[in-house]
Every structure is written in C-alpha cells, then in structure tokens.
Amino acid sequence: MRHSTTRRNVLRGSAATVALAATAATATEAHAVPRDGTGPNIGILLYDGYSLLDPTGPAEVLSRLPGATVTMIAAKRGAVRTDTGDVALVAEQSIDEVDRLDVLLVPGAGNRGTVAAMNDKTLLRWIRRIHRHSRWTTSVCTGSIVLAAAGLLDGRRATTYWASAEYLQSTFDVTYLPQRYVRSGKIITAAGVSAGVDMALHLASLLSDDDTAKAIQLAVEYDPQPPFDSGNAAQASPQLKERALRLLAASQV
Amino acid sequence: MRHSTTRRNVLRGSAATVALAATAATATEAHAVPRDGTGPNIGILLYDGYSLLDPTGPAEVLSRLPGATVTMIAAKRGAVRTDTGDVALVAEQSIDEVDRLDVLLVPGAGNRGTVAAMNDKTLLRWIRRIHRHSRWTTSVCTGSIVLAAAGLLDGRRATTYWASAEYLQSTFDVTYLPQRYVRSGKIITAAGVSAGVDMALHLASLLSDDDTAKAIQLAVEYDPQPPFDSGNAAQASPQLKERALRLLAASQV
C-alpha cells in the first residue's frame, strides 16, 4: 500500500518536472543571467551566539538581487552556532580571507554573543577595515551595538533591538530612533531580528531600484499577516516585555 | 588612533556586561528553566536546494518556546546548501537517526530541489513515518508539494508558494487556499518563504498558548513594516510576477 502510494507519487513527480518548470517560464532565459559577481558582493558576519533570523532574513532577500553573491563570514571557516546552540550556519570564509565587500551585514545576538563580539578586538578591527571601503555597512538587532563598539556609530542616529535601546544610547554617542531601520550616511541599522527583512528590502532598492525590490518582495511572498499584533515594544505591557525577555533568556545557551 | 578607539570600546564593552545583562533582568531565573526536552521536539527537514528563510524563520520563532528543541535533519548529517548555493545550514541529525518528532517542518525549495524531493522515495517514506506519530506536520512554500507527493494532502485544503498553486491543485487531490497558512487536521501548510514566520507564530500558540506566542512575537520584534506593498500575488501585475520569477530563477543554481 505504501509502496503503491510512493510509486504513484514518483510518477507524478516525474510529470511534475515540466509542470513546475512552467511555473518559472523564464528559467532558461534567467539562467543565462550570469551569477558572476556583476552584482553586489554581500558579506554577513557570523559570530558565536547570533540570532538565526538576523543573518538569514536579509540573506534570503539580498541573494535575489541580480548577480549578487552572499557569503557567510566568521573568525574561522566552519559551523557557527546560534544563541540557542541548536542550529548552525556554515561560514564559507574567514575574516582573514575578506578585505573588500560591497555590503557588510552584522547580525545581532543574545547577551553573551553581543558582549563577546563587543570585546573582540580582531572582529572590531575587521569591521572597521571593511567599512572603510563598503558601499553599505548594515546591522540587525544588537548588531548595531557591535557597530557602535567598533566606533562606527559615533554621533549617528541608529536603531537596535527594543530591549537594548536604552543601553545603546546610554553607552555610546548614538541617538536611538524607534524605527524598523535607520539610515545614517552609508550605515543602515535595523531593529530586532525580523526587522532585518524590512531593512533588506530597502537596501535592495538602494542597490538596484524600487521595481527590483518590489519583485524580490513578491519572490519571497512577503505579505506579512502575523496572527497577533504584539511585535511593537512601544505598545507592549511591562508584563509582556518581561515574558518576552524571559523566553529569550531561557532559549539561549 | 584606531588603537585608542578600540581600547575605549573594549572598556565600554566590559562595563556593558552588567548593563546588557540588566536588559534581561530575569536571565538568572530564566536560565533555571531547563532546556531538557520538556518542550516540543521540533525537526526541520533540509534537502538540497531549500530556500533559506523557509526553515530559519520558523526555527527562530519555535526555538523560543519553553523547553523546545529545534533540530535540522537531512538524508545525511552535515552542510546542506540552499537554492542559491551560497549558504548552508548544518544538518545535526540524519533521517535514520530520527523516528519521532512532535513537530515536523518541511521547507520549500526552488524547482530543482522541489522536484528532487518529490522523487526521493526514502525522504517521502521518512516523512510519512514521522507524520504517523507527529503532533503537527507542517510545511512552508513548496514544502506542501513535497507533503502532497508523500500522499499526506489527499483530499485536504492547503496552501503553497503563489507560483506553484496551480501546479499543486492540478497535480494532487488538494484544494488550494490563498492564505498565509492553512490548517487541515494536524497538518499546517504555509504560503511562500516569509509566510513561515506567520505560520510558526500560529503553531507556537497551538503548542503553548496565545500569551506565549505573543511574547515570542515581541521577542523577535515582529512588527512588520515592509517598504513596499508588493508581496501579495493576487494584487501583483503579470509583469511583476514574471520579474519575480526571473529573479528567483537567476539566483538559483
């Protein structure tokens, strides 16, 4: 019974090849578009304890830019674990191998990962070196605190994770703005975690044009409809904020 | 100059430890909450050519559930590459090592990856085996086509990636609903890519309660504000749809 089910599906699967290909009728033409670095060279810095969606949301969006390359980068090549310790992305290159990027993105992390990155002289020095020649230097969540620790946000306006806003403003010469993303010169900071997707679409329009960015938004079917309306800290109760921070802390190693 | 800058930031970084910890005042108490599998055991199936945000958006959300474990699973342990070929997540376990999950999530992929998964008898057999005992069997994007190929959607209502809706409905005994996510019994299918985040918040409420899911939404600061309003295929022009599919195809290997 299971066998015949499998068999039937495999036959459908074979027939599917044509049908599915048809849904992307321009595939052939599109594949003619070379992925040869004619587009932006985008590097995302991974460090121990980052939050998974911070690098992956923007990577999903920015990887759809014509000719774009997205490279995960870390102190050393290999697996880099998230704040939960459950999941790892592969760093394809080490910071020693990268000295030029069109776009640098620094994700956020839990408390442990953020503080460690802020105190990593080698990482901060690399961030400053890449920033010197980047077209855009960007961050998601507490990644803006890492940029601030590198001295890149002095005298600037920026955003960060809602629970880190007071810390960012009181520790550095930064004016916090409670926005999804804030552009200051060639630096763009995004608010917490999911805000990286909104920032990446804005960045996509800056790297190409509005029509391309709109097509990317459709390509990732980004028509958000959260089942709740609880994602804005300015409207959240102290109880909900405490609960959110407790869940975060409990999920992190 | 750079040295003194670095020095100053490192000192601030040290002072930051306390300050940042204070932003998660309940951290100590929270860390007392064991991550010992008292929560749901969530498995995400990776296969060559998946779309990065499909597994990572839901993983970010679901990993915040109390006691939850999120495991990336594939045919074999090790790095599994996305549709662009640029990025890889690490599969921590092979399907041979996993015979029970509270939640199974099957992400979507590009045309190549989806068709390959539909034709992988071993993968489909494992999906059916896990589904038999799962609390929830879920998919994102064309992951619903893989569930359909496994025979799990016969006679059901489901959603999928907008460009694959016609294929899903014409190939399988499935009624397509143009919704962010569709629940049919213990199966929940999500629309394309970013819809996995909305589905995961709904699933989080089913696995815990609304207050916990709302706190998770705040924890990931999910207050979406896309710079454009182009993510809904039902409202998109044929030109925009063609452009989106061309960008997708061109970005995939």
Whether A66 and B247 lie within 8 Å, measured CB to CB: yes
Q: Which residues of A touch B57 (CB under 8 A)?
A: 53, 56-57
Query: Do the Cβ atoms of A60 and B53 come within 8 Å?
Result: yes
Give chain B's mean pLDDT.
Answer: 89
Specify whether A141 is catalytic: yes
Q: Do residues B50 and B72 make contact, with C-beta atoms less than 8 angstroms apart?
A: no
Q: B24 to chain A, minimum CA–CA distance in Å?
A: 6
Which parts of chain A register pLDDT below 70?
1-37
pLDDT number for residue A131: 98
Most A CBs within 10 Å: which of B31, B194, B208, B253, as the mutation test of the A interface?
A: B194
Distance of CA B99 to the CA centre of its chain: 20
d(CA B186, CA B105): 12
Note every long-range contact of A112-116, with CB atoms under 8 Å and residues 24 or more positions apart, other chains counting: A112/A49, A112/A83, A112/A252, A113/A47, A113/A48, A113/A49, A113/A50, A113/A83, A114/A49, A114/A142, A114/A145, A114/A146, A114/A164, A114/B20, A115/B13, A115/B16, A115/B17, A115/B20, A116/A47, A116/A48, A116/A49
Tokens of B189: 């299918």
Closest CA to B182 of B205, B200, B158, B160: B158
Q: Rg for chain B (alpha carbons), in Å?
A: 20
What confidence tens digit (pLDDT) does each residue in A2-58 have?
A: 333 333 222 233 334 434 444 443 433 333 334 556 899 999 999 999 999 999 999
User: Tokens at residue B89, please?
Assistant: 């997540």
Q: Which residues of A touch B126 (CB under 8 A)?
A: none
Whether A9 sits inside 8 A of B118 (CB atoms) is yes
CA of A47 to nearest chain B CA: how many angstroms apart?
15
pLDDT score recorded for residue B179: 98
| Inter-chain residue contact B222 with A219, CB threshold 8 Å | no
**pLDDT value of residue B37:** 65
3-state secondary structure of B38: coil
Judge whether residue B28 has pLDDT over 90: no
Contacts of A166 in chain B (CB under 8 A): 23
Q: Is the pLDDT of residue B188 over 80?
A: yes
Nearest of A172, A176, A175 to residue A160 by alpha carbon = A176
A84 interaction partners in chain B (CB closer than 8 Å): 63, 70
CB contact under 8 A, A167 and B16: yes
How many residues does the structure list for chain A?
A: 253
Give contacts of A194 with chain B, Cβ < 8 Å. Answer: 60, 197, 220-224
Dihedral of alpha carbons B2, B4, B6, B9, sign: negative
- With bands split at pLDDT 50, 70 and 90, how would you rate the model's confidence at B36? low
When CB atoms are compared, the residue of A15, A166, A228 closest to B214 is: A228
Q: Which residues of A32-70 are buried (b: 16+ CB within 10 A; e: fewer)?
A: ebebeeebbbbbbbbbbbbbbbbbbbbbbbbbbbbbbbb
What residues of B are in contact with residue A21 (Cβ under 8 Å)? Answer: 111
Residue A248: which of B24, B128, B236 has the nearest Cβ?
A: B24
Task: Check residue A65 and report its DSSP letter.
Answer: S
| Res A153: pLDDT | 98
pLDDT value of residue A37: 65
Which among A44, A70, A103, A141 is annotated as catalytic? A141
Nearest residue in A to B228, CA atom: A214
In this prediction, residues B212-220 reach a mean pLDDT of: 98
Give CB contacts under 8 A, 24+ apart, made by B163-170.
B163/A23, B163/A24, B163/B192, B163/B233, B163/B241, B163/B244, B163/B245, B164/A20, B164/A23, B164/B114, B166/A23, B167/A16, B167/A19, B167/A20, B167/A22, B167/A23, B168/B144, B170/A19
Q: What is the mean pLDDT of residues B103-111?
A: 98
Contact across the interface for B63 and A69, Cβ inside 8 Å: no
Taking the CA atoms of A112, A115, A120 and A124 in sequence, report the sign of the dihedral they define: positive
Alpha-carbon gap, residue A153 to A184, rounded angstroms:
9
Q: With beta carbons less than 8 A apart as the criterion, state whether B68 and B96 touch.
A: no
- Residue B38 is predicted with a pLDDT of 86
Looking at the DSSP bridge assignments, the partners of residue B129 are none
The alpha carbon of residue B157 is apart from the nearest alpha carbon of chain A, in Å, by: 18
pLDDT on residue A38: 86
Q: What are the pLDDT digits (tens) for B116-160?
A: 999 999 999 999 999 999 999 999 999 999 999 999 999 999 999
Nearest to A56 among B52, B202, B248 (CB): B52
Q: Is the pLDDT of residue B1 over 60?
A: no
Q: What percent of chain A has pLDDT over 70?
A: 85
Helix and strand numbers (H, E) in chain A are: 10, 11
| Residue A208 tokens, joined | 């190409």
Q: For tokens 């990962």, name the residue.
A: A113
What is B83-144 written as a DSSP string? TTSS-EEEE-EEGGG----SEEEE--B-HHHHHHHHT-HHHHHHHHHHHHH-SEEEE-TTHH
The pLDDT tens digits of the residues spanning B74-101 come to 999 999 999 999 999 999 999 999 999 9
Cα dist. B175→A137, B75, B117, B150 in Å? Answer: 45, 30, 21, 16
Band of pLDDT at residue B23, cut at 50, 70 and 90: very low
d(CA A217, CA B240): 10
The answer to whether B149 contacts A13, with C-beta atoms less than 8 Å apart, is: yes
Q: Is residue B142 within 8 Å of B108, Cβ to Cβ?
A: yes
Q: Looking at this predicted complex, what is its ipTM? A: 0.88
Residue B13: pLDDT over 80? no
Q: From residue B190, how far is each of A10, A199, B139 by CA, in Å?
A: 23, 23, 6
